[in-house]
Chain A
Amino acid sequence: MNLIRSIFLIFFFLGSNLSYATNEDLQIKISKNLRCLICQGQSIHDSDSEFANSIKILIKKRLNEGSNEKQIYEHLKDKYGEWILYDPTFNKNTYFLWILPILIFLIGGGIIFKLFIKKKN
């Protein structure tokens, strides 16, 4: 009985902790998914440039105003173009990028499968 109670308590505190951290976590997640356009190979989260700091403030402000993650990405994409997003959206310029790993996986799998069957026979 004691064990059940302590497990319940642990889950309760973990759960409440998570709900407190959500907004800040989301803020970090969004800033990690955005490219710092004036830095070299850094995300907005990693950078301490004036540009990155302003974007971090903007993300915080937008989240407090009730915007969701997607709306913030869309807003910044509208201002700076798709380059600011680390995760490119699926469109005519990027479909090959998205489909290629699946194709390679399928064809590679096919080759292995074929060799396997050949060996068995």
Chain B
Amino acid sequence: MKNKIFSISLIFFFLIIFLVFYKGLQNSNIYTPDLEIKKNIPTFKAQIFDTSNEISSEKIFNNDQYYLLNIWSSWCVPCRDEHPFLVYLSNKKNLKIIGLNYKDNNKSAKTFLKKLSNPYELIFSDRDGIIAIEWGAYGVPESFLIYKKKIIKKIIGPLNKEILFEIEEIIK
């Protein structure tokens, strides 16, 4: 009798393990970051691009309107591809585009903007990439749509037509 209970519980135990692992096999093991997070924006102080002045994040995103924070760099090729979309968005009345110049040097960044035009209301520099980490960014390019000091949409990678359409729908 005792042996029977033991064998049944053993079978039951391994069955549970099998089920758990079987279920685990079906889960995706590719990391997909959350894109729809309504997180508060981080607070930080950053140097304004091409000046020695510092500005705090509270002063940048304080109005009751939409902001698009775009992390860009002159050495990043996809940033060139998405630039026309940013220029297009900069004409929208209720959207301000803020740039975060990521691990770049001033001279090439300035040439980049001169060549492709400057869609940014304000740019601040992130020499060592720490501010991008505070935003939870993975690299360049990356954009964050912000409303009332909350991140309402995170775009990893360059902007494209579909994303542009989505942004236009949100800020309507």
In the complex, what residue of chain B is closest to A55 when comparing beta carbons?
B133
Question: Contact: B13 with A54, CB < 8 Å?
Answer: no
Q: How far is the CA of A9 from the CA of B138 in the complex (A)?
A: 48
Q: How far is the CA of A1 from the CA of B114 in the complex (A)?
A: 77
B64 close to chain A: CB less than 8 A: no
A79 close to chain B: CB less than 8 A: yes
Question: Contact: B134 with A80, CB < 8 Å?
Answer: no
Question: Contact: B33 with A81, CB < 8 Å?
Answer: yes
Q: State which size class the interface on A falls in.
A: 20 to 34
Q: A65 to chain B: closest CB distance in Å?
A: 12
Evaluate whether A57 and B33 lie within 8 angstroms (CB atoms) in the complex, with A37-B138, A79-B136, A96-B20 already known: no
Evaluate whether A54 and B34 lie within 8 angstroms (CB atoms) in the complex, with A38-B139, A100-B17, A107-B13 already known: no
By secondary structure, the A interface counts as helix
B150 close to chain A: CB less than 8 A: no
B129 close to chain A: CB less than 8 A: yes
- Within 8 Å by CB of A54, from B6, B17, B31, B130, lies B130
B132 close to chain A: CB less than 8 A: yes
B103 close to chain A: CB less than 8 A: yes
Q: How far is the CA of A37 from the CA of B132 in the complex (A)?
A: 14
B10 close to chain A: CB less than 8 A: yes
A61 partner residues in chain B, CB cutoff 8 A = 130
Question: Which of the listed residues B17, B31, B134, B140 has the most CB atoms from chain A within 10 Å of its own CB?
Answer: B31
B interface residues with partner A (beta carbon < 8 Å): 6, 10, 13, 17, 20, 31, 33-34, 103, 128-130, 132-136, 138-140
A interface residues with partner B (beta carbon < 8 Å): 37-38, 49-51, 53-55, 57-58, 61, 79-81, 83, 96, 100, 103, 107, 111, 114
